[in-house]
Amino acid sequence: MREAPGAYLKSAQMPSLTHITEEIRLAGRALGEFGLGLFHPTVRLGVTGLSGAGKTVFITALVHQLLHGGRLPVFEALSSGRIARARLEPQPDDAVPRFDYETHVHALTEERRWPESTSRISELRLVIEYQSARRRSRNRTLTLDIVDYPGEWLLDLPLLTTGYAQWSADTLRLSRSGPRAVLAARWHNHLATLDPDAPENEQSALLAAALFTDYLKACRNERYAMRLLPPGRFLMPGDLAGSPALTFAPLELAGTETSPGSLAAMMERRFEAYKDVVVRPFYREHFARLDRQIVLVDALAAFNAGPDAVKDLENALAAILGSFRTGRSTVASALFRPRIDRILFAATKADHLHHTSHDKLERFLARMTERAIERAKFSGATVDVIALAAVRATREAMVARGREKLPAITGKPLAGEAFGRDSFDGETEIASFPGDLPDDPAALFDGFRGLTASDESDYRFLRFRPPPGEAGRAGTPTLPHLRLARALQFLLGDRLA
Q: What is the mean pLDDT of residues 432-451?
A: 72
Backbone angles phi, psi at 431, to 5 degrees: -100, 135
* Domain locations in the chain as residue ranges: 7-14+160-283, 36-154+288-391+482-496, 395-475
Contact 493, 75 (CB under 8 A): yes
The answer to whether 160 and 280 have CB atoms below 8 angstroms apart is yes
252 or 399: which leads in pLDDT: 252
pLDDT of residue 148: 95
Q: pLDDT for 193-220, tens place per residue?
A: 999 999 999 999 999 999 999 999 999 9
For the segment 17-47, what is each residue's pLDDT rounded down to a tens digit? 555 565 555 555 555 555 555 557 999 999 9
More reliable by pLDDT, 136 or 19: 136
Res. 461 pLDDT band, cuts 50 70 90: confident
The per-residue pLDDT for range 354-391, each reduced to its tens digit, is 998 999 999 999 998 887 777 766 667 788 999 999 99
Residue 222 clears pLDDT 90, i.e. is over it: no
Q: What is the DSSP letter of 275?
A: I
Are 118 and 55 in contact by the 8 Å Cβ rule? The answer is yes
What percent of the chain is helix, strand and coil (3-state, nearest 5)?
45, 15, 40
pLDDT of residue 14: 44
Write the pLDDT tens digit of every residue in 146-169: 999 998 898 899 899 899 999 999
Smallest CA-to-CA distance from 246 within 255, 256, 235, 257 is with: 235
Homologous superfamily, domain 36-154+288-391+482-496? P-loop containing nucleotide triphosphate hydrolases (3.40.50.300)
Residues near 102 by beta carbon (within 8 Å), at least 6 away in sequence: none
In the predicted model, is pLDDT for residue 264 greater than 60? yes
The pLDDT tens digits for 41-85 are 999 999 999 888 999 999 999 999 999 988 899 999 999 999 999
Is the model more confident about 102 or about 462?
102
Q: What is the mean pLDDT of the chain?
A: 84
The amino acid occupying position 124 is L
What confidence score (pLDDT) does residue 398 get? 87
